[in-house]
Amino acid sequence: MSSCVLDVPSSVTVRSVAEFGQQLATAIEGRSDVALNVDALQELDLSFVQIVLSARTHVEREGGVLRLARPANPAVAALLRRAGFLAAPDPADIEFWFHGELPQ
Amino acid sequence: MSEQDPIAAFRVEAGELLDQVEQGLLDLGHRLDDRNLVDEVFRGLHTLKGSGAMFGFDALAAFTHHCETAFDRVRKGLVPATQELVAVILSAKDHMRALVDGDGAGQEAEGAAILARLQAAIEAAGGAPAGDAAPTGVAAAAATPEATGAGWQISFRLPADAMANGTNPLMLLDELRELGECHIVARTDAVPAFPDLIPTECHIGWDVTLRTSEPKSAIEDVFIFVMDDMVLTIEALAADPAPVAEAAPAVPMAAIAPPPGAVAPVAQPANDAGAAGRAATKAAGESVRVPAERLDELMDRVGELVIAQSRLSQVAGAGTDLILRSVSEEIARLAGELRDTMMVLRMVPVASLFGRFRRLVHDLSRETGKSIELATEGESTEVDKTVIERLADPLVHLIRNACDHGLETPEVRVAAGKAAVGRVLLSAHQAGGEVVITIRDDGRGIDRDRVRAKAEAQGLIQPGQVVPDQDLLQMIFHPGFSTAAQVTNLSGRGVGMDVVKRTIESLRGAIDVTSSPGQGSTVVLRIPLTLAIIDGLLIRVGSGRYVIPLAAVEECLELSLEEDLRSRGRSFITLRDRLVPFLRLREMFTTGSKPDTYQKIVVVATGAERVGLVVDQIIGSHQTVIKSMSSLHRDVATFAGATILGDGGVALILDVAQLVAIGQQQEERLRAAG
């Protein structure tokens, strides 16, 4: 079992999420610790959040960890807020997206 | 993981959406007060705008936005729907299609011109700038809150394909925020586990507490274009509710895809829209969109299989191996069933063809100033998709000619004691192995004297020559005939009717024309249902084998030597008290061989006309995969194509329509000779 960091491209939307999904599947295959680097991600929609949440649950069920390399950047945070993910967040979610500190 | 090209999928969906918008507008043109049609068109425009923006078609989204805004005023009852408005939106729809197909480059001026016309149409219809006019009708009703409570508790889940179809859930949430103070909580409990997730699908749901005085209908408006397929519940909040932030419990994002054995919470739709959504989703899941070329490819494979099966049958039949024969029969049965299934897959209702002519007639009606009603019958009649595609142009010409030149102006019609509205009937029905398409108008009819004069001028007939009526009417299909200055009431604008005839004949079809002065004309097209595989009757003439399409075969008779000798020079047989001409194929094909002792006559028919074909031997039925003739042989009128037989040999397929025509000519000659 090993770890890796997957650099998320600058754009992940419904138009490109299938391709990102394949990269993500490859990254988590057989690894126990996978970090997503979302620093470059600027253009995103719900498909990104959905696939990350789904992958996170899957990895955790397999006994591994999927995390963000660094706290979500403002673009990601804005989308989470706009989509209603931060209205009543679970502490684990705050930990996952923002490493414990919800941005104001 | 799904692998689809979202842009290509969007273009297909947008095309269908635009078709729906067009049909809605055409219906609206007849029923300007129909609110359902207004809503339908608005929904289409709204969806197209959202989808266009989603998939990067910015020019389309911007243009459609203007149209949607204008049409929204009709929807709200601020502006009445008018014919002019419908016509402008139809033009706008054409422009949208161009924007869907291209990138909008160089089309800005055209778009701006349409929008200017749209603005003028709105103003002409009595529309004041938005916000100035007092709401009336629907708008007034909408302004009356249905509930005076503190707001609404909304729960919704979009159809799984919503994002792939261009709906952006974030936009919907933003629209809800515009209605009042919102507390939005995303629910992820229905998101599938990663291996099962189709990334372009949307499985996130939302609970929204909305503090507003807006009515329920305002919320439904937000979801207007996905309402039919989604799960949506809207419940009034109590007048003195708990603080908003406490209205919805926290839901961990990671509550995804319950482990095996656990029961996933199922959203229960509380209204009919939800039920309809389930039904629609179910229906969508039961159909698959397949590119046409894949069907063609499959058809080719089935064709090859049929040929191979035919060879196997021959080999098995020639030997004594009973097991091989049994297997061969089994494969023959399966190949036959596969062929039949394949043929059904390729069949498309002619409704898809007829639908596009409504727009044509609408435009012609406006161009010519005539009132024209297009009636259609038999839209559910199914025809091979290739036939449908190739029928489109001939029908456009025929309908255009009927409207342009067949129908009179309202004044002339009223003076002639007819209804002011001219009628064009487009109908289809199946008859044996053919589809019969009829285009009938109740106009002035074909002026036979002018047809004759033109035909004589062109040297097609001699002055004073007696010509059967049907032959005279068929003159309009002669090359160069109909393009002349409006000689007949079916003449076109630079598009020769010969093009129509050539296309129909290339489909192995036939055209009949009838016309009554003052009462109108009828053009009947008879087209084979399919161009790919037919059931044929394999025959032998001399040493050559030929196929006669089985659908055209009426009966088979024996021609005894005595009858053969007796009928020399006449070539007629009496069939149930009716003289039927027959053709000796051995002589036509100059086989140079002696006739068999017991020749056979195969009686074939197209429409009411029959002809007998004298052959040496009837071999039996044969599944015939039609191969087109080479360009060298394309002009040989007697044959419609070729096919490969089980032993690898080639058999030509007889063109029954041509043979019947030759038989009729022979009959005319003999009658004329007394």
From A86, A68, A61, A47, select the one nearest B161 (Cα to Cα). A47
B184 in contact with A at a CB cutoff of 8 Å?
Answer: yes
Answering whether pTM is above 0.80, one says no
Q: Which residue has the tokens 């002055």?
A: B463
Residue A84: pLDDT above 80?
yes
Distance CA B573, CA B579 (A): 6
User: E-strand spans in chain A?
Assistant: 2-7, 11-12, 31-37, 43-44, 65-68
Return the higher-pLDDT residue of B558 and B164.
Answer: B558
Distance CA B645, CA B46 (A): 56
Segment B562-582 shows an average pLDDT of: 76
**How far away is chain A from the Cα of B181, in angstroms, using its nearest Cα?**
13
Is the CB of residue B178 less than 8 Å from the CB of residue B208?
Answer: no
From B485, B497, B487, select the one nearest B448 (Cα to Cα). B487
According to DSSP, the β-strands at A65-68 and A31-37 are parallel
Q: Which two tokens stand for residue B452?
A: 């004759």
Alpha-carbon distances, residue B603 vs B99, B580, B588, B589 (angstroms) = 55, 9, 16, 18
Nearest CB to B206; choose among A14, A21, A84: A84
List of chain B residues whose C-beta atoms are within 8 Å of the C-beta of residue A28: 194
pLDDT of residue B166: 75
Distance CA B74, CA B297 (A): 47
Nearest CB to A18; choose among B173, B199, B250: B199
> Quick one: how far is CA A80 from the chain centroid?
11
- CB-neighbour burial class of residue B412 (10 A; exposed 0-12, middle 13-18, buried 19+): middle
CB contact under 8 A, A53 and B254: yes
pLDDT of residue B4: 54
Strands across the sheet containing B510-516: B372-377, B422-431, B434-441, B520-528, B510-516
Q: Calculate the average pLDDT of chain B.
A: 79
CB contact under 8 A, B254 and A20: no
Residue B505: pLDDT above 90?
no
Q: pLDDT category, B634, cuts 50, 70, 90?
A: low
Distance CA B469, CA B169 (A): 66
pLDDT of residue B474: 85
pLDDT of residue B59: 82
Q: pLDDT category, B245, cuts 50, 70, 90?
A: very low
Q: What is the CA radius of gyration of chain A?
A: 13
pLDDT of residue A22: 93
Alpha-carbon distances, residue A66 vs B203, B364, B367, B438 (angstroms) = 21, 64, 66, 67
pLDDT of residue B549: 87
From B254, B232, B256, select the one nearest B176 (Cα to Cα). B232
Interface mutation target, options B188, B209, B253, B256, chain A, most CBs of A under 10 Å: B253
pLDDT of residue B607: 64
From B318, B383, B339, select the one nearest B622 (Cα to Cα). B339
Q: pLDDT category, B256, cuts 50, 70, 90?
A: low
Q: What is the pLDDT of residues B408-431, one digit of tens each?
A: 999 999 999 999 999 999 999 987
CB contact under 8 A, B259 and A61: yes
Return the higher-pLDDT residue of B457 and B629.
Answer: B457
From B642, B626, B661, B375, select the one nearest B520 (Cα to Cα). B375
Segment B525-535 shows an average pLDDT of: 76
Compute the C-alpha angle B116/B122/B127, nearest 5°: 135
CB contact under 8 A, A88 and B185: yes
Residue B538: pLDDT above 80?
yes
Q: What residues does A5 pair with on adjacent strands?
A: A35
Nearest CB to A57; choose among B203, B248, B256: B256
Q: What residues does B642 pair with on adjacent strands?
A: B627, B652
Q: pLDDT category, B294, cuts 50, 70, 90?
A: confident
Q: pLDDT category, B540, cuts 50, 70, 90?
A: very high
Beta carbons within 8 Å of B309's beta carbon, 6+ residues apart: B328, B331, B332, B335
Q: Which two tokens stand for residue B416?
A: 């002639």
When mean pLDDT is compared across A49-53, B360-364, B401-405, B670-674, the lowest value belongs to B670-674
**How far away is chain A from the Cα of B203, in angstroms, using its nearest Cα?**
8
Question: Which chain B residue lies closest to A23 (C-alpha atoms)?
Answer: B1
Question: What length does chain B have?
Answer: 674
Segment B400-413 shows an average pLDDT of: 88
Would you say the C-alpha torsion B374, B380, B383, B389 has a positive or negative sign?
A: positive
Question: Which chain A residue lies closest to B250 (C-alpha atoms)?
Answer: A88
Residue A56: pLDDT above 90?
yes
**How far away is chain B from the Cα of A54, in angstroms, using its nearest Cα?**
5
Query: What does B383-421 look like in DSSP terms, one character per residue?
Result: EEHHHHHHHHHHHHHHHHHIIIIISPPHHHHHHTTS-SS
| φ, ψ dihedrals at B538, nearest 5° | -85, 125
Segment B556-583 shows an average pLDDT of: 78
Distance CA B576, CA B574 (A): 6
Segment B594-622 shows an average pLDDT of: 85
Number of helices (H), then strands (E), belonging to chain A: the values are 4, 5
| φ, ψ dihedrals at A91, nearest 5° | -55, -35
According to DSSP, the β-strands at A31-37 and A2-7 are parallel
Q: In the A/B pair of chains, how many CB contacts fall below 8 A?
A: 120
Residue A64: pLDDT above 50?
yes
Q: Which residue has the tokens 């398409």?
A: B437
pLDDT of residue B46: 81
CB contact under 8 A, A92 and B259: no
Alpha-carbon distances, residue B582 vs B99, B509, B572, B633 (angstroms) = 58, 21, 6, 25
pLDDT of residue A21: 94
Query: What does B513-546 look like in DSSP terms, one character per residue?
Result: EEEETTTEEEEEEEEES-SSEEEEEEEEETTEEE
Question: Which chain B residue lies closest to A86 (C-alpha atoms)?
Answer: B185
Distance CA B547, CA B642 (A): 8
Residue A76: pLDDT above 90?
yes
Distance CA B114, CA B117 (A): 5
Is the CB of residue B599 less than 8 Å from the CB of residue B564?
Answer: yes
Return the higher-pLDDT residue of B497 and A50.
Answer: A50
Is the CB of residue B586 less than 8 Å from the CB of residue B573?
Answer: no
Is the CB of residue B47 less than 8 Å from the CB of residue B166?
Answer: yes
Q: What is the pLDDT of residues B167-219, one digit of tens each?
A: 889 988 988 998 888 999 999 989 998 999 999 999 999 999 998 888 888 88
pLDDT of residue B15: 86
When mean pLDDT is compared across B10-19, B95-104, B235-244, B326-335, the lowest value belongs to B235-244
Interface mutation target, options A26, A54, A90, chain B, most CBs of B under 10 Å: A54
B262 in contact with A at a CB cutoff of 8 Å?
Answer: no
Residue A6: pLDDT above 90?
yes
CB contact under 8 A, A14 and B197: no
Q: Which residue has the tokens 């055409």?
A: B26
Question: Which chain A residue lies closest to B203 (C-alpha atoms)?
Answer: A50
CB contact under 8 A, B173 and A84: yes
Distance CA B58, CA B239 (A): 43
Q: Which residue has the tokens 């003739």?
A: B629
When mean pLDDT is compared across B76-85, B386-395, B490-499, B521-530, the lowest value belongs to B490-499
List of chain B residues whose C-beta atoms are within 8 Å of the C-beta of residue A49: 204
Question: What length does chain A have?
Answer: 104
Residue B523: pLDDT above 90?
yes
pLDDT of residue B3: 46
Return the higher-pLDDT residue of B166 and B192.
Answer: B192
Is the CB of residue B364 less than 8 Å from the CB of residue B424?
Answer: no
Q: Which residue has the tokens 């088979």?
A: B556
Residue B273: pLDDT above 70?
no
> Quick one: how far is CA B400 from the chain centroid?
18
